[in-house]
C-alpha cells in the first residue's frame, strides 16, 4: 500500500523531517529506473531497450488522462464521462467520511446503479496537470550574491509566492512552483482542480485489502484494490477529452508498460550525513510514535463495533506507515546500502573537486550540510515533540490551522508560512471547512497520548509542556479540551476564519485558547530550524543540484515531489524466497489463500466471493508485477501499454521495493498492480455492475446509463 | 527435497568430507528442536508443552511402522498387506531403473490395478529397525590407555566389526554399530531387511516435483511427492503387524505432530575449526564440481529425448544437492551464525575448563581438532581430486568396488575398509549385482569431465593424473575406458567378484585395469587422512562427547546418522517475505501457480489435472508445514498425530531450514509435507486408483484387491 506514507509525510512536515527538504537527482540510470518528469522523458532508454519513441501527442494524452488525488494518491480518467479509477485505499478516507454508524461503506462497499445514486464526497480534490513552465532563471536570480543563506531562502520563497499568485490571477488554475533536482530547476505547474467528485463503485474493504497488514507490501498478492469515482462540474459529469481506453487483456510478461502517477517523495541522493540522521533519529522515533498511537486506537476499538468503525481508517493508515517505514529503516540498517551511498558520494565529490571551477562553486556543499545536520540533531527533540500534529488529532489540527490562518493572511503573501500563500488558500479552506465527521472520543485519546509522549520525551520543565499541561495530567487536559471544543462544527471554523484575528483572539473555545498558548513555541522551533538548518541545506542542496547537472548532464531524473512522473518497465517475475515470484496471480490463488488460512481474518472473503465463485473464470489474472520505479503516492496510478491503453492499476510495491526510498534495485524492486481483466471480471460477475463495466470497456450505448 | 543429499554424502565419503566423521550432540534444546533416538525420546518437553506422554507401546508401534530406504530416504508401512508410503523423489531412482526408452515411468507415473501388475524394483533394499542395544562399554573398553590415536581407531573399528559379525551370525539381521554423541555412546542397531519391493503407484514426475528446481526447498508448495511400494517375501505381500492408520483429515494448525524417519547427517556441534574448513574449502569446491557435472549432463540431454530421459535422474539429484549445499553455504557465510557458534564453543569450553577433572580429561580436544583440521586443509586437493567417485560414473564406481572387494574380503574382518565388513557384504552385493541399466554414452561424458577436473586441479605431474591419463586427453581416456569395458553386464561383475583376486588381477577389462593402476593412490590418500586427521578427530570427538554428557547430561539428542529418529512439533505458519506463510496450501494454489506462470515448465501440469479438475475439491489441503526438526534423509517420513495415525508425508524443508545442518532456528525452520487428504483425493479422483485408496483408508473388503 502506498498512499498513506505521503499522507503522513505531509502531516508530519514540521515535526518528523524524514528526509524532508532537500531533493537530489540520481546520477546513474541502470535497469528500468526513474520517475521522470514529462518534460524530460527517458527517450534514449525507451529507444535503446524497447525500440519505442513516445510522440508528444502520446505524452500529452497520458499526462492529461492522469489525475492527482490531493490527499495523497493518483488516478486516471477511464471514460469520456468523467470516470476516475483509483485504489480503494486511496478513496477510503472519503468512504470513511461518508459512512455513518448505520452505513459503513468501507466495510460493505458501494455501487451506484444509476448516476442519481452516485455519492458526493466531502472534501476530495482532484488535480490534472495542464501545463508546465520552466521558471528556474526567475527563481534563482531572485537571490543576490550578497545575501546570506537566511536571506536567500526568504528571497526565493517570496519570488515563488509571487509567481504562484500571478499565475493564479492570470489563469484561475491551481499554480504550484516545484523545485526539482534540489533546486537545480524550478518549474511552475498549473492544475485544473475538481472538487465535485462522486463515488460510483468500491468493493468491500476485505477484498480491496485482502490479507490485511500481513500481506501489505508483499507479493504474490490477491487484492481488488480499486475504487471508481466520477467527476462533476456544474452538477453534470464532465466530458473527458483525455481518458485511457481499457484493455482487459492486460500486458503479457515481458511487455513494455508505463506508470503515470504522483510519487510522493524519495531521498535517493541525500548526503550520507542526512541519511545517518534519518537512520539514527528520525526512523526510530517515528516508528515508536506510530506504534503508540496504534496501541491507543486498538484499545479504543475494543470498546465496541462503532468505535472499531471509527478507528479503522486511522489504524489502517498508521499500520501501513509502520510497515513502510520499517522496511525503509531495515534498508538503512543494511551496511551495504550505506557503503554504496558513501562510495557514490565519494566519487561524485572527487569529480567536483577535480575541476577548479566546480570545486570553488559547489565543493563546500557537503560539509555545509553535515554541519547543519549536526545542528538539527541537537534540536530534534523539541523540534519533533513540541507538536500537536504528532497526536493525529484532527480537532487540534483544525485549531492550529485557524490560529495561524488569521495571522498569516494579514502578512504580505511573500512573508507567510508555507501553506498560507494566496495560491494555496482555496485548497486549504476546502479541507478546513470540510463536513467530514469527527469522532470526539477517539480524538480525546489521541490528543492525550500525544501529550503524554511529549511530556515523557521533553520532561515537565519544557516550556511547551508547561504551557500545554500547566501541571495537569495529559488525559485530563485532553478531556477538557476535546469535550469543551465546538470545532467539530465546520460552521464555527468558518466563522472564526472569516472573523479574522479579532474573532480568534476573543474566542474562548478551549482548543483555540490552548493553541494560542502553545503554538508560539512550536513556531519558534520551526523558525530556528529554518534559520539554522533548512536555509543552509536549501542553499547547499542547490549547489549539489547544479554540480550534478555539471557532472552528469540532464540524463537524470529528480527525486519525487508528489508531482506527475512517468516510470517505465516490463511485466517481470523476480527471485524470491529461494524461488521465482510469478509475473501474475489469479483468482485461484485468492481462494488458495482463503482456505490455506482456514478462512480466518485477514484472509476471510466477502460472502459474494463464495456464493458466486462458480461464475468466475478463476484463471483470470488478478494482480501482476512490473519493474516500474514507483513509491508511495503512486497508489492508484494507471499501468499503460505502448498504445496508451490501461492494462492495470498500481496499488503497492513489494517488500523489497521499500528500500527504494534510498536506492533503486531493479533485481527485486517490483510495482504491484491490479490486472485490468480482474476488475472487469469482478464487476460483471460478482458485483452485478455490468453497466459500469460496459462504460469502462467503451461499450456503453448512448444514454444507457443516465440516472 | 531431501533425499539426494544423503545419497551424495555417502558417494563422496572419502573425497568431499563435508562434516563427515565427528558427531556432536546439541547442548540446548529450545523450541521444538531435536532428532531424538527412540531410546531417549523428549518426554519432558512433550509432557510440559503438550501434556503428552507416549507409551512404550506407542513408541514401538511407530518405530516398527517406520521404514528406511537404504538408498537414502524414509518411509512407513500404511497397510496390513505391506504397502509402504514414501516420496516420489525417494522412489525415483527405482522408477528410472525400471524405465526404458519405450516406457518412462518417471514421466508418465504408474499404477498397478492388480497385484499382478505391481512392478519389481531392481535393487531397492528396505530396513526396519527391530532392536537397539547399548554397546558403549564394549566399544570404548576396546581402547587401551596406552594406545595412540591411530591404534585406538583400529581397535574401535575391529571391535565394531566383530560386534556386527556376531550379531549377524546370531540373528540373521542386518546389524550396524552406530556411534552417537560423537562416540559418547555406541549402539548396535538390528534391521529386518526387505529386498523384494514392488512399485504400486507413482504419479507423474511433473506433479510430484511441481515447480521443479525453482520451487525445490521453498514454501508455499504444491507437490504430490508420493510413491507407494509393496513389500514381498517369498513371492507374497508381507502381512505387516505394524502399520500407520490413515487419517485423511490431516492435522489442524497447532496440533502436535511427530516425524519418524532417518535424518542423514547434521553438523550442529562441529567445532568452529571444522566449520571453517567446510565454509572455506569443502562447500566452494563441492558446489563447483556439481555445477560442472550438471553442465555436462545438460549438454548430453540436449542431444535428444532419449538422452534427456537417461540424464534426468542425475540432473535432478545434482541440482537438488546444489540448491541444498548452497543454502547451507549461505548459512555459513552469515557472520551471525559463526559468531553464535563461537560463543557456544567458548561457553562450553569455559565450563569444561572450570572443573580440573574435566579440564584434564577433555580440555585438549578442541585444540587437537584444530591441529588436525590444519593438516586436512593441506591435503584437501589430493584427498578430494584423486577420485573416481567425483565423476559420478556408475561404471567406474563398480570397477573400484570390485577391485577393492576381492582384496578386502581376504583380510580379517576387523582390518577391512569400511563397507567391506562381513555384516555389510549382503547389501553391497545387492547393489553391485543390480541389473539397473547403465547409459554408457552418459558415463563417458561424466568420467571425462571428472578426469578433466582432476587434471585441472592437480596438474599434469600429479602421480594420480600420470597414472590415470598417461599424457592423453581426459576425453580420449574416458572414451577408451567406457567403450571398452563390459562392466555394464552384472554377470561379469558377479564373475569377477566370485573369481576373486586372481580373476581381477588377470582381467583385461580396461576399466578394471585402469582402477588397478589408480586406486592405490586414492587409498594412500585415504590412509593418510585416517592416520592424520580422522583418528585424531575420532579421539577428540569422543572426549567432547563425554564432556557434553558431563556438562549437560543426556537431555540432548545426537547429531543425525541416517538412523531412526523421532522429531516433534506442531503444524505452524511462520513469518516469510514480509508476511505469513500459510500452515497449509490447497489444490487452488496449484492451479494458481499453473496459470500464474502461463502454464510454462516447470509449472505445467499433467493433462489429467486439467481434464479432471472439475472432479476435485480444490479446497483440499495439498501440502502443509510443521516445525518438526528434520533434514535430508527424512524424505518420505510419515507425519503422525498423537494417536499414531498418518496425517502427512514429509518431502522437504523450506529454504530457511537449510542452515539447520548447523543450527536449528524454530522461528522459520519448517518441514514441508504432503497432506494425507490430498493423496486420497488425487488417487480417487485423478488416478482412478480407488482400490488403492480403499486399502490405505482401511476400507478394503477382504480379497477385494488380489491380482
Residues of B with a Cβ under 8 Å from any A Cβ are 211, 214-218, 220, 252-253, 323, 327, 573, 576-580, 582-586, 588-589, 591-593, 595-598, 603, 618-619, 621, 654-655
**Predicted confidence (pLDDT) at residue B36 exceeds the cutoff of 90:** yes
* DSSP class per residue in B380-435: HHHHHHS-SGGGT-HHHHHHHHHHHHHHHTTS-GGGSPTT-SHHHHHHHHHHHT--
Q: How confident is the model at residue B4 (pLDDT cuts 50, 70, 90)?
A: very low
What's CA A203's distance to the chain center, in Å? 22
pLDDT digits (tens, 9 = 90+) for B289-323: 999 999 999 999 999 999 999 999 999 999 999 99
Q: How confident is the model at residue A596 (pLDDT cuts 50, 70, 90)?
A: very high
CA distance A567 to A614: 38
> What pLDDT score was predicted for residue B553?
85
Locus of grid cell 524524514? A18
CA distance B195 to B211: 33
> What pLDDT score was predicted for residue B704?
46
pLDDT digits (tens, 9 = 90+) for A494-527: 999 999 999 999 999 999 999 999 999 999 999 9
Q: Looking at residue B532, what DSSP letter applies? A: I
**Predicted confidence (pLDDT) at residue A692 exceeds the cutoff of 80:** yes
Q: Which residue has the higher pLDDT, B214 or A21?
A: B214
Percentage of chain B exceeding pLDDT 70: 95
Q: How large is the average pLDDT for residues B679-689?
A: 98
- Picking from B580, B592, B596, the nearest residue to A214 by CB comes out as B580
Q: B327 vs A578: CB contact, 8 Å cut-off? A: yes
Q: A596 vs B582: CB contact, 8 Å cut-off? A: yes
Q: How confident is the model at residue A30 (pLDDT cuts 50, 70, 90)?
A: low
pLDDT digits (tens, 9 = 90+) for A406-425: 999 999 998 999 899 999 99
- Contact list in A for residue B596 (CB cut-off 8 A) is 220, 582-586, 589
pLDDT digits (tens, 9 = 90+) for A183-226: 899 999 999 999 999 999 999 999 999 999 999 999 999 999 99
Ordered strands of the B256-261 beta sheet: B565-570, B256-261, B638-640, B646-653, B671-675, B621-626, B584-586
Query: Which grid coordinates are listed for A343?
Result: 562510495
Query: Which grid coordinates are listed for B11?
Result: 558417494
Query: Which grid coordinates are listed for B224?
Result: 504430490
Nearest CA-CA distance, residue B660 and chain A, Å? 16
CA distance A63 to A192: 12
Q: Which residue has the higher pLDDT, B137 or A705?
A: B137
**Predicted confidence (pLDDT) at residue B524 exceeds the cutoff of 70:** yes
CA distance B142 to B161: 12
B576 backbone dihedrals φ, ψ, rounded to 5°: -155, 130
pLDDT digits (tens, 9 = 90+) for B586-629: 999 999 999 999 999 999 999 999 999 999 999 999 999 999 99
Q: How confident is the model at residue B30 (pLDDT cuts 50, 70, 90)?
A: low
For A238-298, give the secondary structure using H, E and C. Answer: CCCCCCCCECCCCCCCCCEEEEEECCCCCCCCCCHHHHHHHHHHHHHHHHHHHHHHHHHHH
* DSSP class per residue in B46-69: HHHHH-----HHHHHHHHHHEEEE
Q: Is B477 helix (H, G, I), strand (E, B) or coil?
A: helix
Q: How large is the average pLDDT for residues A218-239?
A: 98
A661: nearest Cα among A79, A287, A267: A267
CA distance A189 to A173: 9
* DSSP class per residue in B102-147: S--HHHH-EE-SSGGGPEEPSS--EEEEEEEEE-HHHHHTTS-TT-
Query: Which grid coordinates are listed for A35?
Result: 520517475
> What pLDDT score was predicted for residue A50?
97
Q: Where are the beta strands (DSSP E) in A184-235?
A: 185-194, 196-202, 227-233
Q: Which residue has the higher pLDDT, B71 or A451?
A: A451
A474 within 8 A of A431, measured Cβ to Cβ = no
Query: Which grid coordinates are listed for A10?
Result: 505531509
- Which of B218, B249, B579 should be substituted to probe chain A, the one whose Cβ sees the most A Cβ atoms within 10 Å? B579
CA distance A104 to A122: 15
Query: Which grid coordinates are listed for A352?
Result: 567536483
> What pLDDT score was predicted for residue A22?
27
**B217, B220, B223, B225: CA torsion to nearest 10:** 50
Percentage of chain B exceeding pLDDT 90: 91
**Predicted confidence (pLDDT) at residue A9 exceeds the cutoff of 80:** no
Domains of chain A: 3-125+195-267+559-696 (2.40.10.120), 272-549 (no CATH)
What average pLDDT is seen over chain B?
A: 93
- Give the Å distances, CA to CA, from B124 to B50, B175, B208, B287, B634: 38, 18, 20, 28, 17
- Picking from B578, B596, B655, the nearest residue to A582 by CB comes out as B596
- Give the Å distances, CA to CA, from B88 to A321, B202, B297, B643: 46, 6, 22, 26
Q: How large is the average pLDDT for residues B36-47?
A: 96
pLDDT digits (tens, 9 = 90+) for A602-629: 999 999 999 999 999 999 999 999 999 9
Q: How confident is the model at residue A553 (pLDDT cuts 50, 70, 90)?
A: confident
In DSSP terms, which residues pair with A648 in a beta bridge? A639, A675
pLDDT digits (tens, 9 = 90+) for B459-506: 999 999 999 999 999 999 999 999 999 999 999 999 999 999 999 999
pLDDT digits (tens, 9 = 90+) for B260-297: 999 999 999 889 999 999 999 999 999 999 999 999 99
B90 within 8 A of B120, measured Cβ to Cβ = no
Q: How confident is the model at residue B18 (pLDDT cuts 50, 70, 90)?
A: very low
Locus of grid cell 487484492? A223
**Predicted confidence (pLDDT) at residue B543 exceeds the cutoff of 60:** yes
- Give the Å distances, CA to CA, from A182 to A21, A26, A256: 8, 11, 30
ipTM of the complex: 0.91
Nearest CA-CA distance, residue B226 and chain A, Å? 21
Locus of grid cell 519570488? A159
> What pLDDT score was predicted for residue A706?
40
Q: Is B171 helix (H, G, I), strand (E, B) or coil?
A: helix
**Predicted confidence (pLDDT) at residue B14 exceeds the cutoff of 50:** no
- Contact list in A for residue B592 (CB cut-off 8 A) is 585-586, 588-589, 592
pLDDT digits (tens, 9 = 90+) for A296-327: 999 999 999 999 999 999 999 999 999 999 99
Q: B217 vs A578: CB contact, 8 Å cut-off? A: yes
**Predicted confidence (pLDDT) at residue A133 exceeds the cutoff of 90:** yes
Q: Is B471 helix (H, G, I), strand (E, B) or coil?
A: coil
pLDDT digits (tens, 9 = 90+) for B53-106: 999 999 999 999 999 999 899 999 999 999 999 999 999 999 999 999 999 999
- Picking from A211, A577, A596, the nearest residue to B577 by CB comes out as A577
- Contact list in A for residue B597 (CB cut-off 8 A) is 573, 580, 582-583
Of A17-21, A56-60, B66-70, B511-515, where does mean pLDDT reach its minimum?
Answer: A17-21
**Predicted confidence (pLDDT) at residue B27 exceeds the cutoff of 80:** no
Q: B586 vs A589: CB contact, 8 Å cut-off? A: no
pLDDT digits (tens, 9 = 90+) for A41-77: 999 999 999 999 999 999 999 999 999 999 899 999 9
Q: B585 vs A578: CB contact, 8 Å cut-off? A: no
Please count the other Cβ atoms lying within 10 Å of the Cβ belonging to residue A254: 10
Q: How large is the average pLDDT for residues B244-254?
A: 97
B621: nearest Cα among B647, B654, B641: B647
B127 within 8 A of B426, measured Cβ to Cβ = no
Q: How large is the average pLDDT for residues A413-442?
A: 93
pLDDT digits (tens, 9 = 90+) for B330-365: 999 998 899 999 999 999 999 999 999 999 999 999
**Predicted confidence (pLDDT) at residue B22 exceeds the cutoff of 70:** no
- Contact list in A for residue B327 (CB cut-off 8 A) is 578
> What pLDDT score was predicted for residue A700?
65
> What pLDDT score was predicted for residue A202?
98
Locus of grid cell 599424457? B471
Amino acid at each position: 500500500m502506498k498512499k498513506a506514507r505521503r499522507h503522513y509525510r505531509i502531516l508530519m512536515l514540521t515535526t518528523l523531517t524524514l528526509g524532508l527538504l532537500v531533493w537530489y537527482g540520481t546520477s546513474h540510470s541502470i535497469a528500468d529506473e526513474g520517475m521522470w518528469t514529462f518534460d524530460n522523458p527517458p527517450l534514449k532508454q525507451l529507444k535503446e531497450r524497447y525500440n519505442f519513441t513516445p510522440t508528444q501527442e502520446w505524452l500529452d494524452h497520458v499526462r492529461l488522462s492522469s489525475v492527482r488525488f490531493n490527499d495523497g494518491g493518483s488516478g486516471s480518467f477511464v471514460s469520456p464521462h468523467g470516470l476516475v479509477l483509483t485504489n480503494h485505499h486511496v478513496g477510503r478516507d472519503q468512504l470513511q467520511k461518508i459512512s455513518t454508524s448505520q452505513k459503513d461503506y468501507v466495510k460493505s462497499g458501494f455501487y451506484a446503479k444509476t448516476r442519481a445514486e452516485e455519492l458526493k464526497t466531502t472534501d476530495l480534490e482532484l488535480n490534472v496537470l495542464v501545463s508546465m513552465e520552466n521558471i528556474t532563471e526567475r527563481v534563482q536570480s531572485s537571490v543576490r550574491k550578497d545575501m546570506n543563506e537566511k536571506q536567500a531562502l526568504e528571497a526565493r520563497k517570496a519570488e515563488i509566492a509571487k509567481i504562484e499568485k500571478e499565475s493564479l490571477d492570470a489563469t484561475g488554475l491551481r499554480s504550484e512552483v516545484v523545485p526539482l533536482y534540489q533546486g537545480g530547476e524550478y518549474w511552475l505547474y498549473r492544475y485544473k482542480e475538481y472538487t465535485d467528485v462522486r463515488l460510483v463503485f468500491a468493493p468491500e474493504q476485505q477484498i480491496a485489502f485482502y490479507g490485511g497488514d500481513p500481506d501489505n507490501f508483499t507479493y504474490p498478492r490477491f487484492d481488488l484494490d480499486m475504487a471508481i469515482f466520477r467527476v462533476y462540474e456544474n452538477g453534470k459529469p464532465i466530458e473527458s477529452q483525455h481518458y485511457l481506453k481499457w484493455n482487459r487483456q492486460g500486458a503479457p510478461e515481458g511487455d513494455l508498460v508505463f506508470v503515470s502517477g504522483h510519487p510522493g517523495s524519495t531521498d535517493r541522493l541525500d548526503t550520507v550525513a542526512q541519511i545517518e540522521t534519518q537512520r539514527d533519529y528520525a526512523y526510530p522515533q517515528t516508528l515508536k510514535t506510530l506504534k503508540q498511537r496504534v496501541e491507543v486506537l486498538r484499545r479504543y476499538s475494543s470498546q465496541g463495533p462503532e468505535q472499531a468503525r471509527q478507528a479503522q481508517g486511522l489504524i489502517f493508515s498508521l499500520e501501513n506507515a509502520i510497515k513502510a517505514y520499517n522496511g525503509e529503516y531495515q534498508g538503512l540498517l543494511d551496511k551495504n546500502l550505506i557503503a554504496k551511498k558513501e562510495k557514490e558520494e565519494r566519487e561524485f565529490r572527487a569529480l567536483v573537486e577535480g575541476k577548479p571551477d566546480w570545486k570553488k562553486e559547489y565543493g563546500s556543499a557537503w560539509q555545509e550540510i553535515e554541519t547543519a545536520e549536526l545542528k538539527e540533531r541537537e534540536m530534534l527533540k523539541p523540534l519533533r515533540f513540541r507538536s500537536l500534529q504528532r497526536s493525529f488529532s484532527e480537532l487540534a489540527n483544525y485549531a492550529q490551522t485557524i490560529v495561524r490562518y488569521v495571522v498569516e493572511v494579514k502578512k504580505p503573501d511573500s512573508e507567510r508560512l508555507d501553506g498560507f500563500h494566496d495560491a494555496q488558500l482555496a485548497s486549504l479552506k476546502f479541507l478546513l471547512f470540510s463536513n467530514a465527521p469527527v469522532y470526539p472520543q477517539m480524538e480525546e485519546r489521541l490528543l492525550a497520548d500525544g501529550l503524554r509522549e511529549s511530556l515523557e520525551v521533553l520532561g515537565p520543565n519544557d516550556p511547551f509542556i508547561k504551557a500545554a499541561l500547566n501541571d495537569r495530567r495529559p488525559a485530563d487536559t485532553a478531556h477538557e479540551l476535546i469535550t469543551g471544543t465546538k470545532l467539530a462544527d465546520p460552521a464555527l471554523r468558518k466563522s472564526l476564519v472569516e472573523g479574522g484575528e479579532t474573532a480568534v483572539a476573543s474566542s474562548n473555545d478551549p482548543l483555540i485558547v490552548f493553541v494560542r498558548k502553545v503554538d508560539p513555541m512550536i513556531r519558534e522551533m520551526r523558525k530556528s530550524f529554518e534559520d539554522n538548518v533548512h536555509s543552509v541545506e536549501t542553499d547547499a542542496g542547490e549547489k549539489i543540484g547544479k554540480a550534478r547537472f555539471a557532472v552528469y548532464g540532464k540524463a537524470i531524473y529528480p527525486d519525487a515531489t508528489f508531482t506527475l512522473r512517468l516510470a517505465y518497465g516490463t511485466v517481470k517475475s523476480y527471485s524470491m524466497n529461494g524461488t521465482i515470484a510469478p509475473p501474475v496471480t489469479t483468482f485461484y490463488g485468492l481462494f488458495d489463500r482463503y482456505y490455506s488460512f482456514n478462512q480466518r481474518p485477514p484472509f476471510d472473503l466477502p460472502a459474494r466471493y463464495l456464493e458466486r465463485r462458480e461464475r468466475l473464470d478463476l484463471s483470470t489474472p488478478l494482480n501482476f508485477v512490473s519493474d516500474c520505479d514507483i513509491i508511495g503516492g503512486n497508489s492508484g496510478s494507471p499501468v499503460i501499454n505502448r498504445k496508451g491503453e490501461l492494462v492495470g492499476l498500481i496499488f503497492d510495491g513489494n517488500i523489497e521495493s521499500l528500500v527504494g526510498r534510498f536506492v533503486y534495485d531493479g533485481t527485486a524492486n517490483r510495482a504491484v498492480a491490479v490486472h485490468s481483466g480482474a476488475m472487469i471480471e469482478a464487476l460483471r460477475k460478482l458485483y452485478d455492475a455490468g453497466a459500469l463495466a460496459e462504460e469502462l470497456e467503451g461499450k456503453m450505448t448512448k444514454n444507457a446509463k443516465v440516472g
